[in-house]
Structure 1
Amino acid sequence: MIRGRGAQMRSRNRACGVEEIKARRRQQERDLRKARKEKQLVSKRLPRGLQGDGEEMEIRETLITQEEVLQLYRRIQHGSDDRLAALRSLRQVLQLKKSQQMFVGFENSIHVLIGLFTSNLAVVQLEAAQCLLELSHSDDPSISLVCLPATPYLLTYLSGQSAKFTELCLYILGNLAAENETVRNQLLVQGVIQALAICLQSPHGAVVEAAAYSLSQMLQAKEAGEKIIPAVLEANLTPHLIRLLDVDSEFGMQTAVECAWCLHYIVSSGVNSECMISQGLVCQAVILLIALGRAIESGTTTDGVELLIYPVARCLGNLIASNGTARSKVLVHDGDLLRALSTFVSGFLQSRPFVTRECLWLLNNLTAGDEQFCSTIFCLNLLPAFLQLIPFSGGINTLVLMLLGNIAEMGLECCEKLRQQTDIFPALCTTLRTADPEAVRLALEVLNRILSHCQQACVLFANQGGIAALEVIQYNSNEEIRVRANFLMDRYFADKAPRCSDMGNFLNPSLSFPSRLMFNS
């Protein structure tokens, strides 16, 4: 969603550039999902730490035959004396996709496994649950449907006395919910949201984390906005999620990560943001980001902190883009927050560029149309570090240029500071000579804003090779870029250098700049 700003934001040809940025951000989101899947954070999780006491065994898929899987099934089916050993072996075998398909293909196999899962022998019950966990982790959507009869029992056991067993059931539910809408619909009817609300208030940190994980799996669904999020709001889960956005709590950072993603999914669904703001989400997110920034600066942070920064920054950015009240609450901490974001931008540039991009995006939403944030950036002398990011690709350069455009749009005072306090013109000239059309287009827009507000800048830009850079662009293959370059030459440098006559239909042009961009993903 893009929030414009009335007559000041007259936009010609802006939509194309914004759509390109949105496409890149969707790809970045897919890349992040892949990274998170590898770390087993939000996609299906198989917590080996919950396994039984049996030793791990290496299973070689080529050696597992259907007959061997069938023998294990018969051993657990007929109640032989070695049923427990057979369950442990089956759990290991079910780590293989081929074996999973073999097992569920046997008649009544799931019902037999569920029967053992509901056994009154705790050790048998636990091993059967481990087998269900392996099946729930399958990437075959059909297997989640096969496991559907287990869901009422899984929900029932969430109120049990064993924290370890409750945690195990939550991960099974979360894995099953990720795969199929039919499973999610049945869980909703069976009261999964109310059950998760209770688990989120558990005194056991592992249970709280698993409950947040299971909820995040539900909230990622395409039908979440229509079916799941209303139920979450009705059950008043959001205050618990906001409270857990605290790495210093007894539940730790991983729980905060899962809660942050839950809140992001809720906010980006288009829910009434006033509700989330009134519950303290903006203040909690800002305080958390500031604390993480200080921890990184002091070297006391832990591995994986970037996976918390990302959803918190995205959540805060969307709230600011959609609600003016959110911005007023952030202003109280403007300096501390901007310092933290600057720390993230530079600290994760090489290792986790998706964090750098997200923090730059949040900076764009903070500075769009807001003179105080733009002024604070100058006071903290953050711009020189941001200008150094312009040579970077992958969307980082365009986000920096958008940030510069937001600042230049504030008028003469900010443009004078850009001219006097930074090396902005060498950076723009370098960008104008690149092959990235979106970066070139944005650089031209930033340049137009500065030159329109600050006539003295024309001489400085010309003296630093700017006219030569514009002359090269006049022969660019991209018509829009060519027309914009011609316009700048005609408006500001007509008496200083010749230009080619290719004004096209560029009548009454407005070199506009996207403001307060918000993505619902």
Structure 2
Amino acid sequence: MWRLNKVRHKAGRPDDSLDQLRLKRRQHDRALRQARRDRQLVSKRLLLNEDEEQPDVMDTSPGEQQDVVGLLHKLQHSGPEKEAHLKALSKALRDPSAQLTFIKQENSMHLLVGLLTGSNAQCRLQAVRCLHELSHSPHTTMALACLPATPYLLTYLSGQSTKFTELCLYTLGNICPDNEAVREKLLAQGIIPALAGCMESQRHNLAVVEAVGFTLSQLLQTKDAAEKIIPMVLASSLPSHLLSVLTPDPKFGLGPAIECAWCLHYLTCSTKDNNTELLARGALSHCSSLLVSLGDAVAEGNKDEGMELLVCPLLRCVGNLLSSCPVKDMITQVGDVHLVVSLCALVQAYLHTRPGLARETVWVLNNLTAHSNEFCSALLTFNMIPGLIQLLPFSRGINTMILRILANVAHKKKEFCVELARLGLLPALGATLKMADQEVVTLSLDVLFMLVVSGSQVAEEFVRQGGLSLLEALQYNGEGEMRRRATYLLEQHLLTH
């Protein structure tokens, strides 16, 4: 089984200043991914310039902020110095006020596009750097201003320079969420086939693959994605490429896998029809297999930095795909019943540090057991039930989902009910019946009902443990559905014991 190394962007090149730059970028990227995980927001990405000596490349001096007009004038008339002037312009364009000054100048974008398409390779690189700085602007008007350059940015995705291709991709990814007209133009210009071609030609270049994943994820999160973008993506080779990148590279890090997993998540949460297509491509098997590996790594004590940023979209992919998967195909599609063991390991790993992620994990476990005897049986076979029972005191939606999972197991077979009682579920239900959360109490009554009706021995054991007084308290003090269920259990199944 592969091992995850610390998250890093690129391997090699020992220069300390470059390492500091990359570290700064990784920290920034992780923050953006964290925001996306928590709020599913689009987020702009700035590709740091590794040629500069200082790690803190975001600072600009007042002189640089005010010199945009002068630099434009020099670019219009200078010869060999164009590259230096462009480099200075890209640095000046980090300031939002300088960005507005630039696009207000007559023919400024025409000049920049001319340099982008010229014969001088270094000028082209610095010109796309200027466009990239503009694309990162907080001003929404900047996306429209960059529109004249998009045909060339798309064309250059088939180029050979990794740095240049990355800059083109991140620039496109930054401008596409801001404006519907820009997205319409990009779609008409062929951004989806361009991304697919780039992924195909650069599949061994993980820095470019990560950038493709970012740009595609920006498109897939827009409000018109389900109608206009996702059908085009599904009709392309992109889903297959996304699936092929899911396994992290031990030397490069998690970045490409994280970006591609988020793209798959945005595809799976759109419509059920799309999930049918993804199921046919083996998406559920791919994502489940990786979760098994991650769960095994966590169980062995390997919780490397950034791993949860990959676990989260994978969980959402699997949960969504399971809800669309025909029951008869579920075990074949998932491929390994050990997935329940891995999910339980992930719950335990993130329960205290990231309870939201633990809640999503038990949601997947609920989807997995809702219609499958095999996965319910696996929870018992691999002795996962005691660990789940121990989670019942936890709130934040975790205990309610655990009760649903236990209900799934109890519903399948009477033999499973007997085994659940033997493993200590009855006293645990006695504790949840005393909780103030009405949903927890109602779900506990549902599970208790299935256990009690499975056989007289379980009912007798519940009575011996003092269960009658708990139900009587609910019968007289409870409200609505809780009172009705408690009364039914008492009168129909327990008072005779």
Alignment of 1:10-89 (within 5 A): 35-36=35-36, 43-48=43-48, 50-53=49-52, 55=54, 67-76=66-75, 78-79=77-78, 84-89=83-88
In 2, Cα distance between the equivalents of 1:319 and 1:38? 20
- 1:286 partnered with 2:299: no
1:243 paired to 2:244: yes
- Structure 2 residue runs of 5 or longer lacking an equivalent are 1-30
State the match for 1:375 in structure 2: 377
CA deviation string 1:109-133 (max 9, x = no partner)? 3333333333433333222322222
Cα distance, 1:104 vs. partner? 3.2
- Give how far 1:453 is off: 2.5
Whole-angstrom CA distance in 1 between matches of 2:67 and 2:478: 65
Structure 2 counterpart of 1:364, from 359, 363, 366: 366
1:394 and 1:451 mapped to 2: Cα distance?
Answer: 28
Map Cα deviations across residues 337-376 of structure 1 (whole Å, 9 max, x no partner): 1221111111111222233222211111111132221111
1:328 aligns with 2:327: no
The 2-side partners of 1:263 and 1:466 are apart by: 47
SS in 1 for 2:223: coil
- Report the residue type matching 1:204 in the other structure: N
Amino acid at match of 2:156: Y
User: In the alignment, which residue of structure 1 is the partner of 2:137?
Assistant: 138
Are the counterparts in 1 of residues 453 and 459 from structure 2 also a CA contact under 8 Å?
no
Distance 1:121 1:469, change over 3 A: farther
Aligned partner of 1:173: which letter?
A: L
Q: Which amino acid in structure 1 is aligned with residue 401 of structure 2? A: L
Matches within 5 A, 1:13-412: 35-36=35-36, 43-48=43-48, 50-53=49-52, 55=54, 67-76=66-75, 78-79=77-78, 84-201=83-200, 202=202, 203-248=204-249, 252-270=253-271, 271-300=273-302, 302-324=304-326, 326-330=329-333, 332-334=335-337, 336-412=338-414
Task: Name stretches of at least 5 consecutive residues in structure 1 with no aligned partner.
Answer: 1-30, 497-521
What is the percent sequence identity of the aligned residues? 43
Does structure 2 retain, via aligned residues, the 8 Å contact 1:117–1:128?
A: yes
Bigger mean CA offset, 424-433 vs 398-407: 424-433
Q: Distance in 2 between matches of 1:484 and 1:363?
A: 26
Residues 276 and 324 in structure 2, CA contact (< 8 A), matched pair in contact too: no
CA–CA distance in 2 between the matches of 1:115 and 1:176?
20
- TM-score, structure 2 as length reference: 0.83
Q: 1:481 to 1:127 in 2, by over 3 A?
A: farther
CA distance in 2 between counterparts of 1:58 and 1:51 reads 9
8 Å Cα contact 2:32-2:43 kept in structure 1:
no
Structure 1: which amino acid aligns with 2:364? L
1:440-519 equivalences in 2 (<5 Å): 440-474=441-475, 479-494=480-495
Residue 390 (structure 1) shift: 1.7
Distance 1:413-1:110 versus aligned 2 partners, 3 A rule: same
Q: Partners in 1 of 2:329 and 2:136 — Cα distance?
A: 39
Find the aligned partners of 2:246 and 2:391 in 1 and give their Cα distance: 30
Task: Say what the alpha-carbon RMSD is for the aligned residues.
Answer: 3.2
- Contact 1:425–1:461 (Cα < 8 Å) also in 2: yes
Report if aligned partners of 2:42, 2:177 keep a CA contact under 8 Å in 1: no
2:440 alignment partner AA? A
Letter in 2 for 1:432: L
- For the structure 1 residues 67 and 320, does the alpha-carbon distance in structure 2 shift closer, same or farther, using more than 3 Å as the test? closer
The Cα of 1:42 is off from its aligned counterpart by: 6.7
**Distance across 2 between alignment mates of 1:476 and 1:142:** 61
Q: Give, in whole Å, the separation in 1 of the partners of 2:193 and 2:486.
A: 59
Residues 66, 102 of structure 1: 8 Å contact kept? no
Provide closer, same or farther for how the CA distance between residues 158 and 379 of structure 1 changes in structure 2, counting only shifts above 3 A.
same
Q: Is the 8 Å Cα contact of residues 415 and 453 (structure 1) preserved in structure 2?
A: yes
Q: Distance in 1 between matches of 2:100 and 2:226?
A: 33
CA shift, 1:195, in A, is 0.9
Per mean C-alpha deviation after superposition, the further-off stretch among 100-109 and 374-383 is: 100-109
Cα distance in 1 between the residues matched to 2:456 and 2:145 = 71
Q: Per-residue displacement from partner, 1:213-258 (whole Å, max 9, x unpaired)?
A: 2112212223222222222232232222222222248865321222
How many residues align? The count is 463
Letter in 2 for 1:245: L
One-letter identity of the residue aligned with 2:45: R
Offset, 1:39 = 12
Residues 311 and 38 of structure 1: CA distance in aligned 2, closer, same or farther (over 3 Å): closer
Say if 1:321 and 1:121 are closer, same or farther in 2 by CA, change over 3 A: same
Opposite residue 332 of structure 2, the aligned amino acid is K
- 1:417 is displaced (CA, Å) by 0.8
Give a deviation string over 1:461-509, Cα, whole Å, max 9, x none.
334343343344446675333443344344344579xxxxxxxxxxxxx
1:365 aligned partner, one-letter code:
N
Output the CA distance in 2 between the equivalents of 1:289 and 1:61: 44
Instruction: Answer yes or no: is the 8 Å Cα contact 1:152–1:190 preserved in 2.
Output: yes
Give the structure 1 partner of residue 22 of structure 2. Answer: none
Cα distance in 2 for residues equivalent to 1:241 and 1:351: 29
Name the CA shift for 1:495/1:136 in 2 (closer, same or farther; >3 Å).
same
Distance 2:41 2:207 in 1: 14
What amino acid sits opposite 1:137 in the alignment?
A: H
What is the DSSP-based 3-state SS (H/G/I as helix, E as strand, rest coil) of the residue aligned with 1:221?
coil
Label 1:342 to 1:68 Cα distance change in 2 as closer, same or farther (>3 A).
same
Write the distance in 2 (CA, Å) between the matches of 1:109 and 1:70.
9
